[in-house]
Amino acid sequence: MWKEKYKVGVRLIDEQHQELFNRVSDFVQTIRSEEHWEDKLDKVKETMAFMQEYVVVHFEEEEIYQEKINYPDIQEHKQEHTKFKEGVNHYVKIFEEEGFTEEKIQEFGGRLMTWLIMHVGKMDQKIGAYVEGKGGETQ
């Protein structure tokens, strides 16, 4: 799922993005596998817990980095982070209320994959372009 073109050229951010892609890719492979649904549930629950925690940590670190480099579109970017987190939390709530149904998990998997590609492939590329314009990585 991860593609080289998603790199933004900032090591910390790129490493975290690859971790996110690996996890989402694993998650998608699990929910798409032929295994019995009950056998997949542990992986599903583990991914949900991971996403809730890691997405928050990653977004915070990305925002701290943006502040450090005086990234001009930080507010717009923060709004996108908020939307992404709300999207994940929306499904957390659904799973709490309705249980981990296969239908909803598949739906969540499709959305999560698309959000991640869009966010990293578009929004975060702008950070890379800004950093490059400033002469390279600012750690």
Partner 1 sequence: MKAEYVNSFYKATNDVFKLMLDLETHKENLVLVEEMVSSKDANVVLGVTGNLKGSVLFSFPRNMVLEMIKIMSGMEVDKIDSFASSALGEVANIIGGNALTVLSQNNYVCDIAPPQIFVGEYKSFSMATEKALKLSLNTSIGAFDIIMYLQPSS
Q: Which of 82, 122, 134, 138: binder of partner 1 (CB under 8 A)?
A: 122
85 binds partner 1 (CB under 8 A): no
CB 129 within 8 A of CB 7: no
Tell me: does residue 1 bind partner 1 (CB under 8 A): yes
Interface with partner 1 (CB under 8 A), residue total 20
CA angle 39, 43, 45 (to 5 degrees): 110
110 part of the interface to partner 1, by CB under 8 A: yes
Q: Residue 56: which of 107, 8, 105, 20 has the closest Cα?
A: 20
The half-sphere exposure of 52 on its side-chain side, counting CA atoms within 13 A, is 11
**Closest separation in Å from C-beta 61 to partner 1:** 24
Helix (H) or strand (E) holding 80: helix 74-98
Binding flag, residue 31, partner 1 (CB under 8 A) = yes
Residues that bind partner 1 (CB under 8 A): 1, 25, 28-29, 31-32, 103, 106-111, 113-115, 117-118, 121-122
